[in-house]
Amino acid sequence: MQNQVIIVGAGPVGLTLAVDLGKRGIACTLIERKPEPEFLPKMERCNARSMEMFRRIGVAEKFRAAGLDASVPMDVFIITSMTERPLLRLQYPSVNEAREDIRNVNDGTMPLEPYQLISQYTVEPLLKSVAETLPSVTLRYGCEFVEFAEREGRVDVVCRTESGATETISGAYLVGCDGGGSPVRRQLGIKLRGEANMLQLRQALYRCDELFDRIPLGQGPGHGRHYHVADAQATFLIMQDSTKHWTLHAVVDSDEAMKEQFEKTVGMPVKYEMLYCGQWRQNLMLADSYGNGSRVFLAGDAVHLVIPTGGLGMNSGVGDAFDLSWKLAATIHGWGGPNLLKSYEIERRQIGERNVGASRYASLGRRKWRSQYRPEMRDATPEGQAARDNLARIASVEQRKTNEMIGAELGYRYVDSPIIDNIPGGPEHSFREYTPTTWPGARLPHLWLKDGTPIQDHIPTEGYTVIRLNPTHDIDPLINAFRARGVAFTLLDLNEPIGRNIYERDLLLLRPDMHVVWRDNKPPADAEQLAALATGH
């Protein structure tokens, strides 16, 4: 059988999965109904954790080069129009400034990589170009999923080509990364549950080459990424990565009205073209299951739908892809036990549920300040000024819930996973704040080493790693237990006092995705049992 994994859907999640599997030498075919990537924005920011993972597959710098220029600030504005003094400006660093901050801090509280503003219409062609260089990856655009049938030891997928002909592709596993309406999920009979159709908006994409250089906001350049308009239409203007394309969301009655809304928001004559307009609905939903538990899995929007507040949609899906990829590869390579793939749903569904909750939290914050809008805010009167001041005061608290989600990005940990040394208790899960920890299930905190390199770059993407902060501990039995199972194993001795302060224990066992499996101040009493647990046996 030529294919080991079949992926349905060539959005950022499906393409990320294909690239990571391809780099692990797994033969996979990705099928996509569209003939090519579409020029639609959808997502526009990779968060810090996603960028750390993209660094591990060698594409982070490609994202930086293709995305928003690293010198542009990521500020967020509450405005009445782009020609008037903003009601509120929340300042957030450019990538260059964030990198400098990260370089100067070494207490584990920072990510290794800052965020990157990069639009989906840039991400998809970029990942596609990387996938095309991998000999084990086959991309089939213009190929529509029809149905699948699970056989003994394989999954047969029927697809329809652009000519209308059908053909069957077989693989050991099938992964549906095919969006909120996922045909793969529907065939499995898995339901999405939660809050549906909470608000219907229009989204339009504009080309306006001159706007970025002309934003006055009443007092000089007002460069940033988000412009929330205080009005009754929930108007929200987003700068895309080129600074020439802009996305507007608003509650209006027609596509034509979106042109008027753009002109009203900009507040000055500019040349522009509306390239696209469509409707979308806000949903907060989670799938009952992330697959059938054997050979068919789901990832991304197929299993969780969030409101874009907090930027957790695509980034949650990228996390799904990176979690599932190494587990599929380990199983196909023969060293992964049955609990490895079983752990995918257990680990990622809890994160999906948590991120739906974080999105709800952020959305409620935005609704709270928007509810303070009053028509008299447009008036140059004491009453108008009081209304503007009141909205800005509340937005200064509530809008931060959308833009400050570092706890949700970095601080998630896997609880009750069958491949983690589960210890009762653990630190609190926080959306807004990140406190570094090596509690089993958590992401390894970032640390700069004495030579100026980050510890993440010393942790291989294959197999398991032990970080040893006390060289007197003999871990040969653990090394032998993993290698006896045919698993790659790396010992990383860290003789730096600051590392012991941040990492809390003498010994840490890490998975390929840099999540902590086990930690202690002494070698494991039963090395074979720990190796069996970690590898899914």
Q: Which 3 state secondary structure label does DSSP give 438?
A: coil
Helix 313-333 with 338-370: angle, nearest 10 deg: 180
The C-alpha atoms of residue 48 and residue 445 are separated, in whole angstroms, by 12
DSSP letter (8 states) at residue 444: P
pLDDT tens for residues 383-419?
999 999 999 999 999 999 999 999 999 999 999 999 9
What length does the chain have?
537
The C-alpha atoms of residue 485 and residue 473 are separated, in whole angstroms, by 22
Q: Spell out the domains of the chain, with CATH numbers in brackets.
A: 5-67+118-194+286-359 (3.50.50.60), 68-115+199-281 (3.30.9.10), 364-407 (no CATH), 412-534 (3.40.30.120)
Q: Dihedral of the CA atoms 442, 118, 120, 243 (nearest 10)?
A: 160
Whether the pLDDT of residue 42 is over 90: the answer is no
Burial class (CB in 10 A: 0-12, 13-18, 19+), 436: buried
Side by side, the strands of the sheet bearing 226-229 are 88-90, 76-79, 226-229, 236-239, 245-250, 200-207, 273-281
CB within 8 Å of 273: residues ≥ 6 apart: 206, 207, 208
Under 8 Å between Cβ of 194 and 284: yes
- Structure-token pair, residue 275: 């390239």
For 514, half-sphere exposure in the C-beta direction (CA atoms, 13 angstrom radius) is 27
pLDDT tens for residues 460-495?
999 999 999 999 999 999 999 999 999 999 999 998
Kindly calculate the radius of gyration of the chain based on its CA atoms and give it in whole angstroms: 24
| CB neighbours of residue 65 within 10 Å | 11
| CB neighbours of residue 204 within 10 Å | 21
**pLDDT recorded at residue 40:** 84
What number is the average pLDDT over the span 205-232? 86
Q: What do you get for the CA distance between the two ends of the chain, in Å?
A: 26
* Average model confidence (pLDDT) across the chain: 95
**Helices assigned H by DSSP within 204-337:** 211-214, 255-266, 313-333
Local confidence band at 2 (pLDDT 50, 70, 90 cut-offs): confident
- Structure-token pair, residue 404: 């400050």
pLDDT tens for residues 130-187?
999 999 999 999 999 999 999 999 999 999 999 999 999 999 999 999 999 999 999 9
Local confidence band at 320 (pLDDT 50, 70, 90 cut-offs): very high
**pLDDT recorded at residue 65:** 98
- Structure-token pair, residue 58: 């060698």
